[in-house]
Amino acid sequence: MSNYEDMLAVKRALRKDIKRALSQISPPLRVTYGEQLQQSLLKSDVYKRATSVAVYISMPEEVPTGEILADLLQSESRKKCYVPLVQGENMMMLRVYSMDDLNSFALNSMNIPEPTLTASTPHGDVAREDGLILSSTDLILEIKIFILNL
């Protein structure tokens, strides 16, 4: 196996473990934890200093990211927001310009909203920036709730 295949196998196993742990948390408690995590992040110095942030669009069984996305995409925010688009084995982190832009995303085969390669802006259609290629993303969020049985 290659390093890439090894990494994918570890990632799959970790996702399975996390999904199992999250399934043991009641939905109301998951919402409470998620709100607390989002508020802590929004108040953190690392978030406040960031100029561009990559974040996933959460699904119901994941830690919510709605407040983070709303904060990043408010009109007075000076932060750039990037969300994932996966094509085959490649992942891009494409720029989102507004809440209207985010809400226009079509659902993929797993019912996850995904950006297109271009965005409609007030100035016309533009190719979306890929924050990973530009190396402009200074904060990448992958938020998980871990339950430790000590």
Instruction: Look at residue 150 in the predicted model and tell me its pLDDT.
Output: 32
- Average pLDDT of 9-33? 77
Give per-residue pLDDT as tens, 13-24.
Answer: 877 777 777 777
Give per-residue pLDDT as tens, 97-125.
Answer: 999 999 999 998 888 899 999 998 888 88
Instruction: Look at residue 25 in the predicted model and tell me its pLDDT.
Output: 77
Give the pLDDT band of residue 138 (cuts 50, 70, 90).
low
Spatial separation of the C-alpha atoms in residues 38 and 146, rounded to whole Å: 15
Number of neighbours of residue 132 by Cβ within 10 angstroms: 17
pTM: 0.78
Instruction: Look at residue 148 in the predicted model and tell me its pLDDT.
Output: 40
Instruction: Look at residue 147 in the predicted model and tell me its pLDDT.
Output: 44
> In whole angstroms, how far apart are CA 23 and each of 16, 17, 18, 57, 62?
11, 10, 8, 19, 10
Nearest to 54 by CA among 70, 69, 64, 67: 69
